[in-house]
Amino acid sequence: MSPAAPAPTNAELEILHLLWRDGPLTVRDVHETIKRRRDVRYTTVLKTLQVMAEKGLVTRDDSERSHVYAAAVPESTVKKRLVADLVDRAFDGSAAGLVMQALSTRRASPEEIRQIRKLLDSIKRNEDGA
């Protein structure tokens, strides 16, 4: 995902999550999975995937009758960009503000707290060693 490429919409992000989790899928596969959660037309899913291909978010293999779509951007790249944008727009560039708001809004599990502590310890070690 190039810096100039637009960030995915909510609908596009929903499809990307499926492709990251399940790998390449046909339009029918994507439609059936999303339809279990909410009412959506097949043509809407198809059009969304076509737009995503134009944006460079997915690739399309049309060597078979049923076109197969795959994520063209790594999950980590998209998430980093979305978080950076959120930090800039909503928290005036403060990563601490984002983290404090997130932890005060939704309770973290003991495992998540352990992972957060591990990350903070790693950051501290890198700063102390730098």
CATH assignment of 10-71, given 3.40.50.150, 1.10.150.120, 1.10.3720.10, 1.10.10.10? 1.10.10.10
- Condensed to tens digits (0 to 9), the pLDDT of residues 55-91 reads 999 999 988 888 999 999 999 999 999 999 999 999 9
d(CA 18, CA 99): 26
Q: What are the extents of the domains in the chain?
A: 10-71, 91-129
- Residues 49-63 have pLDDT tens digits of 999 999 999 999 988
Q: What is the pLDDT of residues 96-116, one digit of tens each?
A: 999 999 999 999 999 999 999
| Number of C-beta neighbours around residue 109 at 10 A | 8
pLDDT score of 2? 52
pLDDT tens-digit readout, 2-47: 555 678 999 999 999 999 999 999 999 999 999 999 999 999 999 9
Please name the residue ranges forming H helices in 23-105: 27-35, 42-55, 75-90, 95-105
* pTM for the whole structure: 0.81
